Amino acid sequence: MHLEDIFKILKSVRCLDMDYDSGRILGSMCTKPDEIGLRAYKMFIDSNLGDPGLFAGTTLLESEVIGMLGNLLHHPDCVGHIVTGGTEANLMAICVAKYKFQEKNPGKIPELILPRSAHFSFNKILNMLNLKPVYVNLDENYRIDTKHLEELINTNTMAIVAIAGTTELGYVDDIEVISEIAYENNIYLHVDAAFGGFVIPFLDKKIPFDFSCRGVSSITIDPHKMGCAPIPSGGILFRYHEDLKRLSVRTPYLTHDHQNTIVGTRSGASSAAIWTLLKYYGYEGYKNKVDKCMDVTWYAYDKLNKIDKVNIRIPELNLLSFTVEGIDTDTLQKKILKDYNFSVSVSEYPHAIRIVVMPHVKKVHVDEFIRSLEEILES
């Protein structure tokens, strides 16, 4: 086939995709990658962090990125890796917790305490690592019920998962209290801040959720969500070097003698992009991005709240959740997509329309969305 014909096909296939600039994507935690990050990404596209001896420069960038993320999360000396996303990051953390538990408790079936609000990646992890899930209740505000958490802890408890920015509501568990419970009981605590990691540090309201809480063992933070880095960009950070080392395997034929990551050959382009974004935007730049998203979030909240039949929850991060009286949520979602081409998602618990106000969502898009919603309600 002629090259130009092939690319013509690619172009037409690409047209089937939705694009961020249209403002129609309202239910994704990803966004249009920042141009500056993309420039660095392209420069390092052929680097392989799986073979660090060959790519010493890129390896340096990754370790500096981990230091910068650690700095943001109050532990500059943390260790970790840039990985493919929140799923891989969570898997690495829970795997470490399992190895630690098994060493001390041979033969016991490890129990993982997690809330129902945990991301579905934990369902994969529970299966892969053969763990027994123990679900902690949510309180009336959809956050971990810390009293119930204390009741669930027993000698089989391997680890606790808490969420800083739930996927469905963007709510932050009371990590300060959970951290003390984990610390007192000497239990591994993993904080999943895949979404919230690039939001919470930049809010005006200070919410403790990171390594400043002494019981937190590891944190997932995804640069390809609110970090505006290209996909794939996840981050896993550990408080202790010994913990990360538990994942280490020998790599006989490579330039470096061991490897900690699940993925072997892995691009350093993500690390280069994140490094560049963190250097260029810094704390102030990211705060500015988050401020803008929160401004649009409250703008949309006020408008939706003014509609009689809409029941909307108070947002904590840049995520909105609402239901409409008299219309089934799934029917409403389908109508919004089919008749108005807005892609919103539906959360399971609570069963509601979910909107993620990412940087590509502007006030004009909100206005247009509200008009569409009002038309549906009038019809």
User: Running DSSP on this structure, what letter comes out for residue 201?
Assistant: G
Report d(CA 189, CA 178) in Å as an integer. 8
CB-CB neighbours of 280 under 10 Å: 12
| 356 contacts ligand PLP (rule: CB under 6 A) | no
Which of 58, 59, 157, 167 is the binder for ligand PLP (CB under 6 A)? 167
CB within 8 Å of 256: residues ≥ 6 apart: 51, 52, 53
**At a CB cut-off of 8 Å and minimum separation 6, what does 2 contact?**
none
- Give the DSSP letter of residue 267: B
Please say which residue, 51 or 173, places its beta carbon nearer to ligand PLP.
173
Q: Is 222 in the site for ligand PLP (CB under 6 A)?
A: yes
Q: How many CB atoms lie within 10 A of CB 74?
A: 15
Closer CB to ligand PLP, 194 or 320, in the complex? 194
Nearest distance from C-beta of residue 87 to ligand PLP, angstroms? 3
87 binds ligand PLP (CB under 6 A): yes
> What DSSP string runs through 127-141?
HHTT-EEEEEPB-TT
Number of shown-chain residues binding ligand PLP (CB under 6 A): 14
Instruction: Extract the tokens encoding 282.
Output: 């810094």
Consecutive H or E run containing 354: strand 352-356
Question: Per rule CB under 6 A, is residue 192 in the interface with ligand PLP?
Answer: yes
Which of 189-197, 239-247, 329-337, 346-354 is the region at the interface with ligand PLP (rule: CB under 6 A)?
189-197
The site map against ligand PLP for 229-268 (x = CB under 6 A) is: -----x----------------------------------
Look up residue 311 and give its DSSP letter: E
Q: Pick the stretch among 85-93, 208-216, 326-334, 347-355 that binds ligand PLP (CB under 6 A).
A: 85-93
Examine residue 210 and tell whether it contacts ligand PLP (CB under 6 A): no
Binding flag, residue 163, ligand PLP (CB under 6 A): yes
For residue 352, the SS3 value is strand
The Cα–Cα gap between 348 and 333 comes to 13
Per-residue x/- marks for ligand PLP, 101-130, CB under 6 A? ------------------x-x---------
Nearer to ligand PLP among residue 160 and residue 194 (C-beta): 194
The C-alpha angle 305, 307, 308, rounded to 5 degrees, equals 105
Scanning 72-80, 101-109, 188-196, 352-360 for contacts with ligand PLP by CB under 6 A, the matching segment is: 188-196
Bridge pairing between strands 188-192 and 218-220: parallel
Q: Taking CB under 6 A as the rule, does residue 195 contact ligand PLP?
A: yes
Q: In the complex, which residues of this chain contact ligand PLP (CB under 6 A)?
A: 29, 85-87, 90, 119, 121, 163, 167, 192, 194-195, 222, 234
